Amino acid sequence: MSEPAPPSGVVRHGHFRYESGHHGDVWLELDLLASYPERLGAAARELARRLADQEADLVCGPLEGGAFVAQWVAAELGLRFGYTRRGAGGRYAAPDSPDLRGMRAIVVDDAVNAGAAVIATARELERRGCTVAALGAVMAGSHSGTRVGARLGVPYVYLHEIAGTLWEPAVCPLCARGVPAEG
């Protein structure tokens, strides 16, 4: 079964300046993805199908976009749902209630780029007494997002690999060609 393609306009090509300070040639319009619930639901159903053998109790995603997908995947699998929220210093925290001790968790995000959100979410779940069983994402960036499962040492399902390159600003070839950067 082939996975549903992201809606047109979600993956943009050009010259962009990211929050990390890097420059790159791909931008993901994740709010646009979230605005098509039918398409997001199709992606979540496909993720759920591929993650169904993980014997998990909980699906957890980072707010905002990751949690939208995680909740849908949890509903498809008949599992509990949780979320994390970014706080100071890049830490992601889950709400104090419910008690998550002893649960097997799948971490789900809409997009994984550097992997900061899913890794911090996995660390928080472990701190709260969960075992992280697997990772799922609708989209994963080819520069590092596709390798985050290996970094966490868990099975990783992503539906779309988004080809893109990151550069330090000083060596950005698009800057060298005088292409204006967005972001």
Interface residues with ligand PRP (CB under 6 A)? 30, 62-66, 109-117
Six-digit token string for 126: 């472990």
Please state, in angstroms and as integers, the Cα–Cα distance from residue 142 to each residue in 13, 68, 138, 145, 166, following that order.
14, 23, 13, 6, 10
Of 158, 161, 163, the C-alpha closest to 73 is 158
Q: How far is the CB of 109 from ligand PRP (least distance, A)?
A: 5
4 vs 66 by CB, closer to ligand PRP:
66
Q: How far is the CB of 21 from ligand PRP (least distance, A)?
A: 13
Q: How far is the CB of 131 from ligand PRP (least distance, A)?
A: 21
4 vs 141 by CB, closer to ligand PRP:
141
54 vs 113 by CB, closer to ligand PRP:
113
29 vs 102 by CB, closer to ligand PRP:
29
* Contact by Cβ (8 Å): 115, 90: no
Q: How far is the CB of 162 from ligand PRP (least distance, A)?
A: 11
- 182 vs 15: CA distance, rounded Å: 6
Of 15, 23, 8, the C-alpha closest to 167 is 23
Q: How far is the CB of 114 from ligand PRP (least distance, A)?
A: 3
Count other C-beta atoms under 10 Å from residue 38's C-beta.
8
Of 19, 43, 13, 34, the C-alpha closest to 163 is 13
